[in-house]
Amino acid sequence: MNTESAGPAATAGRQNRAEATVEITDPKAIRALAHAARLEVISELFSTQVSRTATELAVQTGLTPSAMSYHLRALQKWGIVVPAGASGDARERRWKAAGTDFTINSGGGPASPEFAVLDLELDAFRRRAAAYARARDERRRSGAPAEAPTAVALATSLLYLTREQQAELTERLFGLLSEYELDDPHRIPEGAERMAAMWSLIPDDRSVTAQTIAAAAEGPAEDAPGTV
């Protein structure tokens, strides 16, 4: 899901963390994830590895605590989140990620439900960008002192990759991102900003489709002289 960076001070990454990947393959479970609030919860709990209460997560997603409790129980049903040990105010249950990483694998079917999840993830990323832009513009209008610019990056590329290269690139990028994840989520380096990162690799076959349609419109090619 989403990967959050804490900057160069965290380059040691997750070297001391026991890895445990939660992989979702059941189509019913994947469809159950196609809800914006549930994806926000998964992103928050898996990325930070910090437990949260339903009330805390409700504030973040704009839901009521009772509605958030319903979604948390649904995620628990599929083994995605689990109750965390009580600490502090024990009147409200805390929840945590069921592992350190989260993946969705539907087997690549033609109507794979993870595309609905992908759509919601893109919407969540757009909301983050819009919220940052609004907050930045509000600071400017209020005359707040100028801050050092925050790194906002966006890069797109069209690549021609074999299946082996696709797997290699994915592994290398995930490895690089993991180097910047906190070993101890309770110890955030001084001056670190919470950053949202998204990376994707998806086939771009639009040009191939266009060529196929154009060829079909022209009809079958005429036989060349001397052919049978």
Where do the domains of the chain lie? 3-218
Q: What is the pLDDT of residue 209?
A: 54
Segment 176-195 mean pLDDT: 82
Segment 56-67 mean pLDDT: 91
Angstrom distances, CA of residue 169 to CA of 57, 101, 162: 34, 18, 10
Q: What is the pLDDT of residues 9-23, one digit of tens each?
A: 333 455 555 678 888
Chain centroid to CA 196: 9
Question: In which band, very low, low, confident or very high, does the pLDDT at 72 lie, cut at 50, 70 and 90?
Answer: very high
Number of Cβ within 10 Å of residue 95's Cβ equals 25
Q: What is the pLDDT of residue 225?
A: 45
Q: What is the pLDDT of residue 168?
A: 92
Segment 123-140 mean pLDDT: 81
Residue % of the chain over a pLDDT of 90: 20
Token pair for 176: 């690089």
Fold of 3-218: Arc Repressor Mutant, subunit A (1.10.10)
| Main-chain phi, psi angles of 169, to 5 degrees | -65, -45
Segment 146-172 mean pLDDT: 82
| Longest CA–CA separation in the chain, Å | 88
Average pLDDT of every residue of the chain: 76
